Structure formats: C-alpha cells, structure tokens
A and B are shown apart, each in its own frame.
Chain A
Amino acid sequence: MRRNIRSSRPRKSSSLWQDAMRYLFRQRSAILGMIILGIMVLMATFAPFIATHDPRLSMLDVPEEVAMGVQRRMPPCIHLLGCPRDQPQHILGLDSNVRDLFSRVIYGSRYSLYIGFASVGFAIVIGSLLGAVGGYAGGWVDNVIMRIMDVLLAFPALLLAIAIVTVLGPGLVNALLAIGIVSIPAYARVMRASVISIKERDFVTADRALGFSPSRILFRRILPNAMTPMIVQGTLGIATAILDAAALSFLGLGAQPPTPEWGTMLGAERNQVFTSPHLVFFPGLMIMLVVLSFNLLGDGLRDALDPRLNR
C-alpha cells in the first residue's frame, strides 16, 4: 500500500548534477579514483604530521646519535618488518643525499596536486575564453583563433613544453606555465564546440530578442551551459598535466633540487636505478597513483554527465 501512495505523489525533480553525482557514486572505478585522490589530498594537507623527517634535511647534518651511522642510498628499513632495532627506521630508505625518502615522497604530493590544478586552471581560463569568443563570434575571428590553435596542436605537446621552458628558463612555475600553454587548444576546441551548439538554442534567441548585449549572453547564458564537457576534459587534463610536468622535472627543466617533487627526485636518482631501485620506484609509483586517480575520476564523470547513456 505504501508503494502506491508514494508513486502517486509528484516525482521529486532532480538536477543534472544530482543525477550525475548519484551515478558517479555507483561506479566502482570512479570511487577508487576518489579514494586515491582523497588520500593524496590528505597527504598533501597533513604532510608535516605524516612525514617522519624534514624532506630537505640530510642525515649527515643531524647529530650522530640520531642518524646512527646511516649510509647513503640505504634501502627501506621498517622495524615491524624485521629490520634490526639498532638501525634507524626509514620506511622507504634514504636517497643519494642521505635524506629520508618517505618524507620526501609525502611532501611531493603537494607539488603534484599544485602543478595539476594550477596548469589546468590556467589552460581552462585562457582556452575557454578563446574558444567561447571564437565560437560565438564566428567568421574571421573564429578562423584566426582556431588556426593558431592548430599550429599549437601541430607540435607534440611535450616537445613544445620543453621548448617553452627553455625560452622561459627552467623552474617549477615556468614548467606549469608551459604545460598550461600547450594544453590551451584542447579546451579551446571543446568550448568552441559547445558554444556553437548552444548559441542556436531557443533560450539564446530569446535573449537576443530581448536585446541583451552579446557579452552578457555569452558569459551569463552560454558559458554556464557549456561547462559540463570542460569539467570532464579538465579532470582528464590534470592527469596529463601531472605526467608532463613530471617529465619536464625528470629532464631537469621543472622543479629544481632539492625540491621534493616526484619527477625531480626520479631524474636526480635515475643513474642509481640498477643499484638502488627503491629511489626510482617509489616516486614513480606515486606519480602513477595520482595520475590514475584523475583518470578514473574523469572517466567516471564523463559517463555520469553524458545524458545519452541510459542508466
């Protein structure tokens, strides 16, 4: 009987976002992505409390009774797993400068997330503006903008980023700027496509008939409706941005030592891979996990926000 009563009530309306979120939380892979990402965010936020040592402090610079005669590139030593008690505990071992690798890996999450969000944020703002103006204005404005985007797309992204960083000078900020610049075309294209499809809709025609200015129509009416594909593209874009930034740092063009950035750590220790693989393995594993989390989340969002998919 209760079922009948409930179904006779008018169905509670739910927005696209409520539907999407509900669907997102039903996908196992998206949840896995959110869990990994959540752990990364917690790690970045509480890095000083999780890290066992100062990430930039060499064990050579601490009193001997604390360092207890540790060696360079010492492999992981965990007391619970049978490492002798008279050795100091270093969960992931020590690097070539006798710094605690675990602490460096923990602090690295801050840089990775910062690079991902900052470079993609930059690219989304510039790319959306270019794409929206091009798509809305059409004609030669559109043509000029899109041909410039084509030229940018004609270069392999990483090579272009390397070239830009060389012009600007190596460093973390310049690296994320370079990655931002090379990812602009992707967002410009997505935004342009949505704006073109939305500007023919009836509600835009109505706005025009009411005499609203083009900029008001574009920024208040069209852009909010074009945001959904950008969110998907942006989430997946963060994954690529983090990978490219790590590659730049690996080549010595991004964050500079002794910054505990994962790509930089990997690049500095790459010649030690045959003797001390732990120095390469752990930073790379972290890069993979954070990139994986954004990829899983992005795929989940794409499925969740796609109204064509029947649930």
Chain B
Amino acid sequence: MTSYILRRLLLTLPVLLGILFATFALARLLPGDPCRAVLGEHATDQICDAFMARHGLDKPIPTQFIIYLGEIARGDLGTSLRFQRPVTRLLAERLSVTVELSLSALTFAVIVGIPLGLISAYWRNSPIDVGTMLLANVGVSMPVFWLGLMLAYLFAVLLRDTPLWLPPSGGMSSGIYLPPLQEAWNLSLSRDTFAYDLVAFFSNINTFNALVTGHWAELWDAIKHLILPSVALGTIPMSIIARMTRSSLLEVLGLDYIRVARAKGLHELGVVLKHGLRNALLPVVTIIGLQLGYLLGGAVLTETIFGLTGVGKTLYDAITSRDYVVVQAFTLVIAIGFVVVNLIVDLSYAFLDPRVRLE
C-alpha cells in the first residue's frame, strides 16, 4: 500500500507542474493589454510602463515564471488587478459560496440518486425501472442553465403565493445579516494572517455560520436560497449516480455469493440492501468523486443564473475583464483541488480494493 501511495504521488508531481505552467501561460495568452483593461483606455504609455514594472510584467517571460513559482511557494497568490485586494482574501470570500453550493448539490445528487438506482435495480425491467432510467437519461441531458431558469420560473413565479415559493436569486434575503464568526466568537485576528482568511471562509458559508451560531431564522432563509441552485446543479450528477448504482448493483446481484445469500432463504430486500448494495457502492464512490470537476464547471452557469458570487462567477468575470492575476490564481486553485480529489478517490479505491494496488 505504501509503495502504491508513493507511486501515485510521484505521478501527480509532473501534473502539478504542468498545471502551474498552464495557468501561467493561460493568463499571459489572454488577449488585450492588462494595464489598459485595469486603468482604462486613456492611460498614457508612461503610466502603463510604470504599471507593468510594478507588477513585474516588463521582465522576460521565463523570469516571470520563476517569480510566479516563488510566490506560489510562499502562498502568495498576488493582488487582483481589478479589485486591488489580495487574491487569497477574494478566494476566502468566493470559494465558500461555491463549496456550499457544490456540497449541497452533491448531497442532493447522492440522497436522491442512490435510492433511485436501487429502486430501478430491485424492480429491474419493470415499468418502474424503465421510467426511472428514462428520467435519469433526461436528467443528464438537461442544460444546467435551462433547468435553473425553469426551476426559478416555476418556484418563484408560478408558485408565488403558495408555501412552496422559493427565492430565485441571491444567497440570503435582503435585510438579513449574519455577523462574521470572528465577531460572534469574539476572536481577535489580525487581518493578514491565514487564520483570518480561514475564519472568513467559514463565516461566508451562510448555512454553516447560521448553524454554529444558532441563528435559526437565518439558517432557514439560507437553506431556502440554496435549494433551487443545488437542484439545478445536482441533477446531472444525480442521474449519473442513479445509473451507476443500478448497473453496478445488477452486476453484483449476478454473482455467486448473492445466490448463496438467497439460497440461505434471506429476504430479497435484505439480500439487495445488505449484501448487494454494500459491494455495489464501490464504483459509485468513484463516480461521486469525479463529479467535482463537473460541479465546478456547472457552478459558473448556476452562479450566473442565481446571482451568487462564487468562484465560477468570479473567474468568468475575471476572464472577461482581463484580471489575469485572479484568472491565474483561481484556475490554479480549482485545478489543484480537482487533482487532490482525484488522488483521494484513487487512494481510497486502492484501499478498498486490493487488486488495484497490484496493477
């Protein structure tokens, strides 16, 4: 197992280096002049030269890359050209929105997807199975932005005066304010520390903040705002998980030990749940891990539609406004996060299934 982990980590190194290079190159390849994009069309050449020198953009590209690597190693992601704020602070604010959205979308996908797959496999080839799988096929085929807009129309307009009404945009109702955690807990943190950013990150997860500080009305409000975006973003993963659960379960149910369990006279439901599902969930776990990349991509669309300022929306805005420091830092964080999750999935797979290690 140790040698497998080492081998797998060693394979990750060139990928990480490639990601660093790719994000660096991407930011340099964005068309347009960063100086005039930030300072405006009328900036003189003199001002622009000073701007480029201040941000180290007048140095040769290889030197810039070395400087960039050094900054990353020190945990410095630079200062946003547009907002004139440290990117780490921006990230602490925006990442929390996306993490909250992705996690709740994934939760929706898992708690609806697995039972759907289970039902489908249990009554295989029945009308229930056919209907569920058609639903799952429709689910993977829906554009996120269309589903989001249609859900918003259904719940915010058509169901306006019913108890089912749900807000179509934003993270909280206007007028509702949640104090940051350092205020609620009387923490005195200096502004330029990692701890400050970390606390800020958790403060901005509205549901988490409201839950730990006991603001129940605010919690309910935050949850209500989270439902529609989560369902919109979670529908594709939900359908994928349902299909995977079904096919994996059907494969397992054809194995000999299941026949033994049935021969012992166990109840069919017990066989499926206790003996089948447990072993069938292994590939499902992998699929769940792999949905993260999709969730982050889909977050751009979901955040745009539901007016949430998360990582996806910020990155999209940064790309269109040539704020390449933010582009570089955000793509880097997303890519590294994705690689780490894939690594964890691979390692957990090797941990659960000894055959993988020996390959």
Nearest chain A CB to B302's CB is how many angstroms away?
A: 11
Is B319 a contact partner of A156 (Cβ separation < 8 A)?
no
Check: A264 CB closer than 8 A to any chain B CB: no
Residues of B close to A151: CB separation below 8 A:
15, 18-19, 22
Is A166 a contact partner of B301 (Cβ separation < 8 A)?
no
The 3 closest A-B pairs by CB, nearest first: A284-B146, A158-B297, A151-B18
* Stretch in A209-217, A222-230, A288-296 with 4+ CB within 8 Å of B: A288-296
Residues of A close to B147: CB separation below 8 A:
284
Is A251 a contact partner of B304 (Cβ separation < 8 A)?
yes
Is B19 a contact partner of A154 (Cβ separation < 8 A)?
yes
Is B157 a contact partner of A154 (Cβ separation < 8 A)?
no
Residues of B close to A246: CB separation below 8 A:
143
Which residues of chain B in 286-312 are interfacial with respect to chain A, using CB atoms and an 8 Å cutoff?
293-294, 296-298, 300-301, 304-305, 312
Nearest chain A CB to B335's CB is how many angstroms away?
A: 5
Closest to B12 in A: A150
Q: List 23 A-B pairs, Cβ < 8 Å.
A: A151-B22, A155-B331, A156-B293, A156-B334, A162-B300, A162-B319, A163-B26, A163-B319, A163-B327, A166-B319, A167-B29, A247-B143, A251-B300, A251-B316, A270-B149, A273-B149, A280-B146, A280-B149, A280-B153, A284-B142, A284-B150, A289-B141, A295-B141
Closest to B298 in A: A158
Q: How far is the CA of A101 from the CA of B58 in the complex (A)?
A: 51
Is A239 a contact partner of B141 (Cβ separation < 8 A)?
yes
> A273 and B153 in contact (CB under 8 A), knowing A147-B18, A151-B19, A250-B145?
yes
Which residues of chain A in 21-70 are interfacial with respect to chain B, using CB atoms and an 8 Å cutoff?
28-29
Is B338 a contact partner of A154 (Cβ separation < 8 A)?
yes
Closest to B315 in A: A159
Is A156 a contact partner of B316 (Cβ separation < 8 A)?
no
A positions within 8 Å CB-CB of B: 28-29, 147-148, 150-151, 154-159, 162-163, 166-167, 169, 239, 243, 246-247, 250-251, 263, 266-267, 270, 273-274, 277, 280-281, 283-285, 287-289, 291-292, 295-296, 299
Nearest chain B CB to A69's CB is how many angstroms away?
A: 27
Among candidates B143, B305, B338, residue contacting A156 with C-beta atoms closer than 8 Å: B338
* Stretch in B105-113, B132-140, B170-178, B213-221 with 4+ CB within 8 Å of A: B132-140
B positions within 8 Å CB-CB of A: 14-15, 18-19, 22, 26, 29-31, 130, 133-134, 137-138, 140-147, 149-150, 152-153, 156-157, 168, 293-294, 296-298, 300-301, 304-305, 312, 315-316, 319-320, 327, 331, 334-335, 338-339
Nearest chain A CB to B137's CB is how many angstroms away?
A: 6
Is B150 a contact partner of A243 (Cβ separation < 8 A)?
no
Nearest chain A CB to B17's CB is how many angstroms away?
A: 9
Residues of B close to A154: CB separation below 8 A:
15, 18-19, 335, 338-339
Residues of B close to A158: CB separation below 8 A:
297-298, 300-301
Residues of A close to B304: CB separation below 8 A:
251
Q: How far is the CA of A6 from the CA of B185 in the complex (A)?
A: 87
Closest to A143 in B: B14
Nearest chain B CB to A302's CB is how many angstroms away?
A: 11
Is B293 a contact partner of A157 (Cβ separation < 8 A)?
yes
Nearest chain A CB to B219's CB is how many angstroms away?
A: 27
Is B320 a contact partner of A288 (Cβ separation < 8 A)?
no
Extra pairs beyond A151-B19, A270-B305 (12, CB < 8 Å): A155-B293, A159-B331, A159-B334, A163-B26, A163-B319, A163-B327, A169-B31, A250-B301, A251-B300, A273-B153, A277-B153, A285-B146
Is A163 a contact partner of B300 (Cβ separation < 8 A)?
no
Q: How far is the CA of A289 from the CA of B134 in the complex (A)?
A: 12
Q: How far is the CA of A298 from the CA of B157 in the complex (A)?
A: 37
Is A156 a contact partner of B18 (Cβ separation < 8 A)?
no
Nearest chain B CB to A179's CB is how many angstroms away?
A: 12
Closest to A157 in B: B297
Which of A163, A251, A266, A287 gathers most chain B CB within 10 Å?
A: A163
Is A166 a contact partner of B320 (Cβ separation < 8 A)?
yes
Closest to A154 in B: B335
Is A288 a contact partner of B150 (Cβ separation < 8 A)?
no
Nearest chain A CB to B158's CB is how many angstroms away?
A: 9
Closest to B26 in A: A163
Nearest chain A CB to B344's CB is how many angstroms away?
A: 14
Nearest chain B CB to A251's CB is how many angstroms away?
A: 7
Is B144 a contact partner of A29 (Cβ separation < 8 A)?
no
Is A274 a contact partner of B335 (Cβ separation < 8 A)?
no
Is A288 a contact partner of B145 (Cβ separation < 8 A)?
no
Residues of B close to A280: CB separation below 8 A:
146, 149-150, 153
Closest to B319 in A: A166
Q: How far is the CA of A281 from the CA of B147 in the complex (A)?
A: 9
Is B15 a contact partner of A150 (Cβ separation < 8 A)?
yes
Q: How far is the CA of A155 from the CA of B316 in the complex (A)?
A: 14
> A147 and B15 in contact (CB under 8 A), knowing A154-B339, A159-B331, A163-B319?
yes
Closest to B168 in A: A274
Residues of A close to B142: CB separation below 8 A:
284, 288, 291
Is A247 a contact partner of B338 (Cβ separation < 8 A)?
no
Residues of A close to B30: CB separation below 8 A:
166-167
Is A159 a contact partner of B153 (Cβ separation < 8 A)?
no
Is B293 a contact partner of A266 (Cβ separation < 8 A)?
no
Residues of A close to B301: CB separation below 8 A:
158, 247, 250-251
Q: How far is the CA of A193 from the CA of B157 in the complex (A)?
A: 51
Closest to B138 in A: A292
Q: How far is the CA of A288 from the CA of B145 in the complex (A)?
A: 11
Residues of B close to A150: CB separation below 8 A:
14-15, 18
Q: How far is the CA of A288 from the CA of B300 in the complex (A)?
A: 19
Residues of B close to A285: CB separation below 8 A:
146
Residues of B close to A148: CB separation below 8 A:
18
Nearest chain B CB to A139's CB is how many angstroms away?
A: 15
Residues of B close to A156: CB separation below 8 A:
293-294, 296-297, 334, 338
